[in-house]
Structure 1
Amino acid sequence: MSLIHPVVLCGGSGTRLWPRSRKKKPKPFLPLLGERTLFQQSLDRTSDPNRFAAPTIVAGSDHCPLIEEQAAQIDGSTLIVEPEAKNTAPAIALAAHALPRDAIMLVCPSDHHIANRDAFEKGVEDAVELAREDYMVAFGIHPVAPETGYGYIRKGPALGAGHAVAQFVEKPDLATAEQFLASGDYVWNGGIFAFRAGAFLDELAHHRPGMADLVSRSWSDAVRNGWRTQPAAEPFSEIRGESVDYAVMENTDRAAMVAADMGWSDIGNWDALMTARQTDESGNFVSGAADLANCRNVMVETDRLRVSVVGLENVIVIVDGDEVLVTSREGAQSVGKLPGATSQ
C-alpha cells in the first residue's frame, strides 16, 4: 500500500502563550510538553517509514531557521516557504502541488498535542480509507467539556469507519456548547485533515477558482534550492487568505469525518497547556524555582526568578526573561490581547 504523506503546517505567532511564545520563537518550536518541541512531536507521530513518506513542511520565512534546526536532518523532507501568510487553504494547496495527484495527504498543525498515539494512528487508518475514495476527511475529537473556543462538527450518516459531515459549526456560546455535548452528535474540529492531493486541488478549483489559479501560478514559478522550495511571490500576494474549512470543507459535498479519542489539545492558551500537563495531587504544576503553599490548581513556570505563591486557586504565573504574566485560568484566553503580546 502506498505511503501516507504528512503535511505539517507551521504558522501563527502563538500570542496566547506569551511571554514564553514570541515572534522569534513561537509556540510550535518550544518544548512545552517533554523534551521535544510540539513541532518535533508532530514529526515524530508520522515518522514510521513503513507507513509514512518524508514530511512536507509549509512555513513562512521567519520560521525557517527554527525548522532547519529542528527538522532539516529528516531524509527526503521538503520545506515550502510561503511568500506570505494566507491562511491554511493556500498553504495546503502548495503542498498538494508538491505531491503526486494520487498521494494521500495527512495535514497536521505543528503546534497541537496528542497524548494517545495509538488512537491517533487508528484515526489515520480510518481517515485514509475514506480519503482513498476522494472524501475530504476532517478529524473530530470526542468532546470532554462544553468548550467555546473550538469549532464543532455535527455527525451525519455512517460512512465507512467514520461519518458524513452534516454541518460545520463556528465556536458556540456556552449554552450551545452544552447542548452539543449533551446531544452526542457533535465533535470538536481538530484541524487535522486527510485527502488525496488531486482531489483537494479539484475541490479548491471548483469552489475557489481564483485562489486555485494563483496558487498554481505561484507554484509553477517556484525556485528550488536544496530541500527548500520558494513559490513565486507576485501571484501569491494576490490571494485572498482563507482557511481550508471555509474554502473547501464547508462547500464540498464530499466532506467526511472520523472521530478519535486521542488526548488532543491545540494548546491554545496557558490553561489548555496546564490541562495537558501532569499536575500533583493538589492540581498544581511547577517548573523552575517556585514555592507553593496552600494552593490548588496553580501553575508556575519560571526561567530565572524565584516565585512564591500562597493561598491561591486557579492562577497561572509565567516568568520569561524580563516579562512576568499573572492570570486566572479563566482569563488565559485573553493573554494574546495584552500589549506585550501584540507588540513583540
Structure 2
Amino acid sequence: MFLPVIMSGGAGSRLWPVSRETLPKPFIELPDGGTLLQKTLQRAASLDGVERVLTVTNKEYYFLTRDEYQVTGTPVAHDYLLEPVGRNTAPAVAAAARYAGGKYGEDTVLLVLPADHLIGNQETFSKAVAAATELARNGWLVTFGVEPVRPETGYGYIESGEKIGKTDAHKVARFVEKPDLQTAKEYIASGRFTWNSGMFCFTAGNMIAALREFAPEVLTSVEQTLQGSNPEITPVVLNEEIFALSPDISIDYAVMERSSKVAVIGADFDWSDIGSWSALAELVKPDARGNRINGETLLVDVDNCYIQSESRIVAGIGLDNLLVVDTPDALLVAHQSRAQDVKAVVKQLKLKSHATANYHRKVHRPWGTYTVLEEGNNFKIKRIEVKPGASLSLQMHHHRSEHWIVVSGMAKVVNGERELLVNKNESTYIPAGHKHRLENPGVLDLVMIEVQSGEYLGEDDIVRFQDNYGRVP
C-alpha cells in the first residue's frame, strides 16, 4: 500500500499577522484563493495508487482540517491522528508509522508531506515520488533535496555522497544546519548540496526499525499513546498525558542524521515552504515598478514593495522595498530584507500575552465562526455564524449576559428551562448564570449578532455541560 501522510501544524510565525496560533500557515488563504493544506491534499491525491490519506495534526485543528478537505471535493478516504500537544516531527512520524504499520501492514510505503509547502510541476513531482517509493521498498529512508536557486540562509542543506546503483539517487553524506550567507554560497558553488525539503519516503516497518535503533524513547512513548485506541475508528486522539512526555525532537535529528541507509533524490520540481512574506510575495505578479499587490491600494512613487490588505485601501507615498500586511486588528510594516525577523514580533506579543499572537478577529470553531466587531469597557459585539445542523455547547457564563439577535436563518435556543425558536429579526436575552445553547436546525447558515455585557468578557468564562465536539472533559 502507498499512503501519503500530511503533517499539518506549526504556527508559521514569520507570516504574522495572517498566520496565528489558532489559524496557522497551512490554513491561510493564498492569492489564488486556495490554501496550502488544500493544495497538499490535492497534490497527494493525484499520485498513482492513492486511495487514502493519513493526516497528523493537532486536535484543535481537526474540524478546520476536515472542512478544508471537504471544500476540495477530493475523492479519497481519510485517516486522522490528532496530537494533544505539539512535540516536533519525530513523535508525529513515529505515530504515523506505528499506526499505518498496525492497520495496513509494515510494508506500507509512507510519503511524508508537510502541509505548508507549495509545489509546482505535478508530473515531475510524481516521477520523483515514484523513484523514492522504489528506493523505500528496497530498505532506504528517502529524503528529497531541492536544487538551490540562491544562497538561502533559512533552509537546512543536504550533502550528496556516492550514487546508489543505476538510480539518480545518492547516499546522504551529511545534513547541515542553516548556514550563514558565505557558507551557503560555498555550498552552491560545490554542486554537492541541495536544500532539505523536509519531505520523506519509507516503509512503515523500516522507519519503526530505525526509531527502535536510534530513538527508542520516541517509539516507546508513541506506542504507549496508541495503546487502547481502535485503528478502525478515526480520528485517533493520542493520549495527552503520555504524548506530552515524548522527546521534542525532529525526525532529522532523531533518525535521518544517524542512519546509514538514507538516500536523497533530486527534486526538480518548483518548491517553496512559504516560510516568509518574501516567499509569499513571489506568488503575486509584479507591476511595472516591481510592486506586488494583493488588495486595494493607491500608490505614489512606490517601488519594489509587497502590500496586502484584507479590507481597507492602503495608500503609500515614496516607499521602496517594504512589506505592508494589513488585517482588521494588526498591521505589519517591515523592510523586505527583514522578512525572516517577523517571528521576533510574535515572540514579543506572546511575552505580553497579546491576543493577536493567537487569535484573529474572526475565530474558527467546529460549529462555524465568530467575529469580534467591537469591544470596550464592559461590552463586546460579535457576529456569529453557525453551520447547518451544527450547535454550540450547552454552557453557562458566570460574569456576562448575552443578547442574541438573528440576522438570517433560524435559531433553536435553550435558555435556562426554556427551549424556543428565534427567527430572523427576533432576539432573546441570556442572563449571566443561565444554561444556554444555540443550534442551527435549518439548511442555510445561521447568522446572528451577539451583544455581551458584564465586568469580565474573557473567552475562558465558560462552563460546558455537553458538547458535540469533545470539548467537555
TM-score using structure 1 length: 0.95
* Structure 1 position 49, deviation (Å): 6.8
Q: 1:122 aligns with which of 105, 114, 127?
A: 127
Count of matched residue pairs: 342
The residue that corresponds to 1:5 in the other structure is 3
Deviations 1:88-114 (A, max 9, x none): 011011111221211111001001111
> What does 1:186-225 correspond to in 2, within 5 Å?
186-222=193-229
Contact 1:146 1:174 (8 Å CA) reproduced: yes
* Structure 1 position 260, deviation (Å): 1.2
State the AA in 1 paired with 2:226. W
* Structure 1 position 274, deviation (Å): 1.1
When structure 1 is superposed on structure 2, of 239-248 and 157-166 the one drifting more is 157-166
The residue that corresponds to 1:90 in the other structure is 91
Identity, in percent, stands at 37
SS at match of 2:144: strand
* Structure 1 position 231, deviation (Å): 2.0
The residue that corresponds to 1:306 in the other structure is 313
* Structure 1 position 75, deviation (Å): 4.2
Distance 1:277-1:190 versus aligned 2 partners, 3 A rule: farther
Distance 1:161-1:256 versus aligned 2 partners, 3 A rule: same
Contact 1:18 1:341 (8 Å CA) reproduced: no
Larger Rg: 2
Contact 1:58 1:82 (8 Å CA) reproduced: yes
* Structure 1 position 120, deviation (Å): 1.4
Give the Cα separation in 1 of the matches to 2:131 and 2:286: 33
Give the Cα separation in 1 of the matches to 2:15 and 2:34: 17
The residue that corresponds to 1:315 in the other structure is 322
The residue that corresponds to 2:81 in the other structure is 80
Contact 1:223 1:232 (8 Å CA) reproduced: no
Deviations 1:18-60 (A, max 9, x none): 1111122111011214222100100000113742231100011
Contact 1:97 1:216 (8 Å CA) reproduced: yes
The residue that corresponds to 1:264 in the other structure is 271
Distance 1:261-1:281 versus aligned 2 partners, 3 A rule: farther
The residue that corresponds to 2:245 in the other structure is 238
Give the Cα separation in 2 of the matches to 1:144 and 1:97: 37
Distance 1:56-1:9 versus aligned 2 partners, 3 A rule: same
State the AA in 2 paired with 1:76. A
State the AA in 2 paired with 1:77. H
Deviations 1:228-266 (A, max 9, x none): 111222322221111000000000010100011211111
Contact 2:31 2:294 (8 Å CA) reproduced: no
Give the Cα separation in 1 of the matches to 2:234 and 2:58: 15
State the AA in 2 paired with 1:253. S
The residue that corresponds to 1:158 in the other structure is 163
Gaps of 5+ in 2: 358-473
The residue that corresponds to 1:283 in the other structure is 290
SS at match of 2:325: strand
SS at match of 2:44: coil
The residue that corresponds to 1:29 in the other structure is 27
Give the Cα separation in 1 of the matches to 2:135 and 2:76: 29
The residue that corresponds to 1:184 in the other structure is 191
Deviations 1:172-227 (A, max 9, x none): 01110000011111000001000011100100010011111111111123366853
State the AA in 2 paired with 1:156. G
Deviations 1:306-338 (A, max 9, x none): 111233222110001121111111111111111
State the AA in 1 paired with 2:157. Y
SS at match of 1:23: coil
SS at match of 1:96: helix
* Structure 1 position 116, deviation (Å): 2.1
Give the Cα separation in 1 of the matches to 2:31 and 2:7: 19
When structure 1 is superposed on structure 2, of 218-227 and 135-144 the one drifting more is 218-227
State the AA in 2 paired with 1:247. A
Give the Cα separation in 2 of the matches to 1:155 and 1:281: 41
Deviations 1:277-301 (A, max 9, x none): 3323432211111122333321111
State the AA in 2 paired with 1:78. D
The residue that corresponds to 1:38 in the other structure is 36
Distance 1:49-1:334 versus aligned 2 partners, 3 A rule: closer
* Structure 1 position 123, deviation (Å): 1.4
Give the Cα separation in 1 of the matches to 2:232 and 2:6: 20
Contact 2:284 2:294 (8 Å CA) reproduced: no
The residue that corresponds to 1:274 in the other structure is 281
The residue that corresponds to 2:116 in the other structure is 111
Give the Cα separation in 1 of the matches to 2:53 and 2:303: 42
Give the Cα separation in 1 of the matches to 2:48 and 2:148: 31
Give the Cα separation in 2 of the matches to 1:126 and 1:49: 13
State the AA in 1 paired with 2:35. T
Distance 1:261-1:49 versus aligned 2 partners, 3 A rule: closer
Higher helix share: 1
TM-score using structure 2 length: 0.69
Dislocated runs of 4+, deviation >4 Å: 72-75, 223-226
* Structure 1 position 69, deviation (Å): 1.0
Give the Cα separation in 1 of the matches to 2:212 and 2:96: 15
